[in-house]
Amino acid sequence: MKLAVIGAGHMGRYHAEKFARLPGVELAAVVDRDPVRAPVSDFRKILGQVEAAVIAVPTNLHHEVARACLEKGVHVLIEKPIAATLAEADDLVDLALKKKAVLQVGHVERYNKAFRALVARMDRPLFIDAERLSGFKQRGAEVDVILDLMIHDLDLALSLARSEVKEVSACGFRVLTGDTDIASVRIEFANGCVADLTASRGSQAAVRKFRVFQPCVYVSADLQAGKLRYVKQTAGVIEETEEAHPGGDALAAQAESFILAITENRPVLVDGAEGRRVLKLALDIGRLVRERLERFA
């Protein structure tokens, strides 16, 4: 299968590396507007030469590039978020269905081995607590911290809660850019599950905490190190157990799932509709943050 990576920045280079190693896949082209990064600068020139494409361009260009690919019947794996607006997301989802093309969204944390082990043990989450802090990087700064960082944990929370969102409250602040750089949200789901999520791109140290509580047990996850710690009570005694899930390569697993979805019609963990659902929640949170900032300006 001939595949192109469109966008040769930070994530694009990683994608190119993973797909180049997959059996049965030919990395036919790497495209970037910067001629220093890639030999091809116009992605339209390669659309008739490939069957699949990975889109790793800035978010504001997702719709334009993905639409052109889908129009030519090219299967698409697009970096998160699926698009900049709901209208753009809806257009891509509809077009993929019309063209019978795979449309996968790169919420790569779903392929994290530790997270997948956590999901297998959680049948009724009551409370989800996540914190994702990072130092400032220019990459991703074209969107707010919700679409840049928090969207990872929004996707994980939605996949765990398995319920519709009932109520959302949020606050956030501009610190380093003209947009929201730190945000906190509480999400209440129709089934009673609650999620508290915090994200910041102005932290001195990187922090990734993820905890899930359900009746009789809670789990604390270090998704970066692939470690889980379970705490439960048995006959009045608190028991702690730890699991390690080393050696995982979530990006490679995501790449493989994309190819299998094309060649064997297997389902992907985050299709266009699921990516649209996460985007809607992220945009709702962003709107609530901006409204609050305007009230207290």
Calculate the average pLDDT of the chain: 95
- What residues contact 32, with CB distance under 8 A and at least 6 apart? 6, 7, 8, 9, 12, 38, 40, 41
Whether 128 contacts 209, CB under 8 Å: no
Q: Bridge partners of 87?
A: none
Backbone angles phi, psi at 226, to 5 degrees: 75, 40
- By three-state DSSP, how is residue 122 classified? coil
Going from N- to C-terminal start, the domains of the chain cover 2-101, 109-248+281-295
User: What confidence category does residue 297 fall into, taking pLDDT thresholds of 50, 70 and 90?
Assistant: confident
Closest CA to 259 of 17, 7, 73, 25: 25
Read off the pLDDT of each residue in 209-230 and give the average, rounded to a whole number. 93
pLDDT over 70 (residue 197) = yes
Read off the pLDDT of each residue in 70-76 and give the average, rounded to a whole number. 98
Residue type, 142: E
pLDDT of residue 236: 86
- By three-state DSSP, how is residue 152 classified? helix
What CA–CA distance (Å, rounded) separates 124 from 2? 42
Read off the pLDDT of each residue in 64-93 and give the average, rounded to a whole number. 98
109-248+281-295 CATH fold: Dihydrodipicolinate Reductase; domain 2 (3.30.360)
Per-residue pLDDT of 1-11, as tens digits, reads: 999 999 999 99
Backbone angles phi, psi at 127, to 5 degrees: -145, 135
What phi-psi label fits residue 7: left (phi over 0), alpha (psi between -120 and 50 degrees) or beta?
A: left
Number of Cβ within 10 Å of residue 183's Cβ equals 24
Q: Bridge partners of 129?
A: 196, 211
Helix 250-263 × helix 10-20 angle, to 10°: 60
Cα–chain-centroid distance for residue 218?
24
Whether 27 contacts 1, CB under 8 Å: no
- By three-state DSSP, how is residue 130 classified? strand
Homologous superfamily of 2-101 in CATH? NAD(P)-binding Rossmann-like Domain (3.40.50.720)
Per-residue pLDDT of 239-258, as tens digits, reads: 999 999 987 899 999 999 99
Backbone angles phi, psi at 202, to 5 degrees: -130, 25
pLDDT over 70 (residue 16) = yes
My answer on whether omega of the bond before 81 falls inside 30° of 0, hence cis, is yes
